[in-house]
Amino acid sequence: MANSRRRPARGTRPAGARRPAPARPAEPGPVLELDVERIAHGGVAVARHEGRVVFVADAIPGERVRAQVTDAGHDRFWRAETVEVLDASPDRREHVWAEASVDRAPEDRAGGAEFGHIVLRRQRELKADVLRDALARMGGIEREVDVRGVDPALAPGVDPESGTGWRTRVRLHVGAEGAVGPYAARSHRIVPVASLPLAVAEIESIAPLGADRGTADADVGATAIDLVAPSTGAAELVIRTAGDRRPEHPPTIVERVGERSFTLDRGGFWQVHRGAAATLTRAVQAAVDPGRFDPDAENQDLYGGVGLLAAAVGDRFGPSTRITTVEADARATEHAGANLADWIGARAVTDRVDRYLDRLAGAADASTRGLRGATVVLDPPRAGAGRAVVERLTELRPAQVVYVACDPVALARDVATFRATGYEIEALDAFDLFPNTHHVEAVARFAAIV
């Protein structure tokens, strides 16, 4: 999945890295009683106070809560944290991560599990609501969508009822005094925790959650600890220090998806959920319309990383399939070339997608096909492909585009651009690859309007 706020290039994204969050205000605001109306993008709920929108964390639509205002610096909206649930939703449960529970003071709640207080079925309904709303408001289409869980057969060890035990990458932070832990929700304050329930068992078993380990690491300048549990081999703990640079030949790991293996840098991008890579492989294979697929066309895998989705296409349509995977990170591209060596027609290109498409457009003329007849798999960063990339891509007139999206709003913006350039969405599936968080993955197919 990986150009405004750009998700780091595949192969360079720190394991478990999260987007920067604003610091909490120095002085707390008033405590309000709020009736929660609906869910908003980003994992917060929406309420109103005296005509002003209040975005409130740790609440569920239909509840009445007491909430502490934490940011009143905007004319049109405030932000708040639930401190007491007065009228609970029937979908509220004991939080899967005790250290993130509403029972804790807001500043001490661990971040990264903002839906952990909601039963899994309702989480998926809320994610579908956000996706549906974004498509309607920004994409201009009304479409029903269901968010499906990962097939348990693809994710051994993951609890399908609680949505725990799935994270194969976790980043813990190390404070100046040696404290080790995640950041508190919506802040850069480190909070100590005794557990990591979203993580796979292999990570929990090696996570240095005690203060003694933190002090030792602080003595050698540690700033973070990355925990990585590949599907083959042992879980690893990597201490990060200020000014770390990627070595010329970084350590590699091997991930297994079905019968196929993928080599990548240990710190490189890979899907975080234990069953996500296999889920997306199946989803992309199902999304490609075989009636439009031409194995001899200039098929493309854009933002291709180490070749996961190019391999999905090749495995469905055969080893003679022509496909080019394009990725900005040279190390990831190097791995992609090796990972796709089974295909006679596969190649891996190191390039920015926008520049690559510009060159394709410049080379296309009346004597060439461009991308006509081609299938394009597009797996952009969280910010989406963006108008420039979508417009250039559709100018090249591929037969179909299969778009893998990790942000519903970014997807919806790109849907609008596809539609404005003559492509309509034909199919859409959504998957809960991030249980107990607000994130959702979608796979859409676009084709030219005839």
Answer yes or no: do 410 and 274 share one domain. yes
> Strand ranges (DSSP E) for 14-164?
31-35, 38-39, 45-49, 52-57, 64-71, 77-87, 147-148
Is 103 inside any structural domain?
yes
Helices 387-395/408-420 angle, 10° precision: 40
Question: And the tokens for 221?
Answer: 């300048």
pTM for the complete prediction?
0.91
For residue 167, which of 229, 231, 236, 240 has the smallest C-alpha distance? 229
Same structural domain, 434 and 383: yes
Give the number of C-alpha atoms closer than 13 A to the C-alpha of residue 44, restricted to the C-beta side: 18
pLDDT at residue 228 greater than cutoff 90: yes
Residue 331 counted as domain residue = yes
Please indicate if the annotation marks 379 as binding a ligand.
Answer: yes
Q: For position 365, what pLDDT does the model report?
A: 59
Q: Is the pLDDT score of 115 beyond 80? A: yes
Residues 55 and 177 in one domain: no
Question: Was 298 annotated as part of a binding site?
Answer: no
- Among residues 17, 44, 187, 197, the alpha carbon closest in space to that of 107 is found at 187
Q: In what order do the strands lie in the sheet with 441-448?
A: 147-148, 423-431, 441-448, 400-405, 375-378, 299-302, 323-327, 346-350
Q: State whether 107 and 131 are in the same domain.
A: no
**pLDDT at residue 410 in the model:** 97
Residue 72 — pLDDT band, cuts 50, 70, 90?
confident
- Confirm whether 406 is a catalytic residue: yes
Number of domains in the chain: 3
Angle, vertex CA 278, rays to CA 276 and CA 283, nearest 5: 90
Within 10 angstroms of residue 431's Cβ, the number of other Cβ atoms is: 25
Is residue 436, in this structure, part of any structural domain at all? yes
Instruction: Tell me, yes or no, whether 238 and 148 share the same domain.
Output: no
Burial 379-403 (b: 16+ CB within 10 A, else e): bbbbbbbbeebbebbbebbbbbbbb
pLDDT digits (tens, 9 = 90+) for 236-273: 999 988 877 777 789 999 999 999 999 999 999 999 99
Q: 190 and 147 share a domain?
A: no
Helix (H), strand (E) at residue 121: helix 120-134
Cβ pair 287, 316 in contact under 8 A: no
Q: Please indicate, yes or no, whether residues 130 and 225 belong to a single structural domain of this protein.
A: no
Residue 13 lies in a domain: no
Considering 78, 111, 144, which residue would you say is the last residue of a domain? 111
Find, among 331, 248, 295, the residue nearest to 8 by Cα: 331
* CATH number, domain containing residue 47: 2.40.50.140
Q: Is residue 218 pLDDT above 80, yes or no? A: no
Statement: residue 9 has pLDDT above 80: no
Q: Which residue, 247, 281, 298, sits at the end of a domain?
A: 247
327 is in an annotated binding site: yes
Instruction: Indicate whether 241 and 193 sit together in one domain.
Output: yes
400: three-class secondary structure by DSSP? strand
- Residue 366 within a domain: yes
* Closest by Cα among 368, 356, 423 to 394: 423
Of the candidates 257, 360, 390, 406, the residue annotated as catalytic is: 406
Using 50, 70 and 90 to split pLDDT, how confident is the model at 26? Answer: very low
CA dihedral 342→346→352→353, nearest 10 degrees, is: -120
Residue-wise pLDDT tens digits, 133-156: 999 999 999 999 999 999 999 999
Is residue 48 located within the same domain as residue 72? yes
Position 23 scores a pLDDT of 44
| Residue 336 lies in domain | 126-154+257-262+270-448
Average pLDDT over residues 290-310: 97
Average pLDDT, the chain: 90
For the segment 319-360, what is each residue's pLDDT rounded down to a tens digit? 899 999 999 999 999 999 999 998 889 999 999 999 999 999
- Spatial contact of 309 and 327, defined as CB atoms under 8 Å apart: no
**Is 365 part of any domain?**
yes
The residues that bridge with 183 in the sheet, in sequence order, are 190
Same domain, 219 and 132: no
Which of residues 213, 247, 281 is at a domain's end? 247
Residue 118 domain-assigned (yes or no): no
**Do 307 and 368 fall within a single domain?**
yes
Whether the predicted pLDDT of 12 surpasses 60 = no
State what percent of residues in the chain have pLDDT above 70: 90
- The verdict on whether residue 285 carries a ligand-binding annotation is no
User: Is 164 within the bounds of a domain?
Assistant: no
The answer on 278 and 223 residing in a single domain is no
Distance CA 188, CA 384 (A): 25
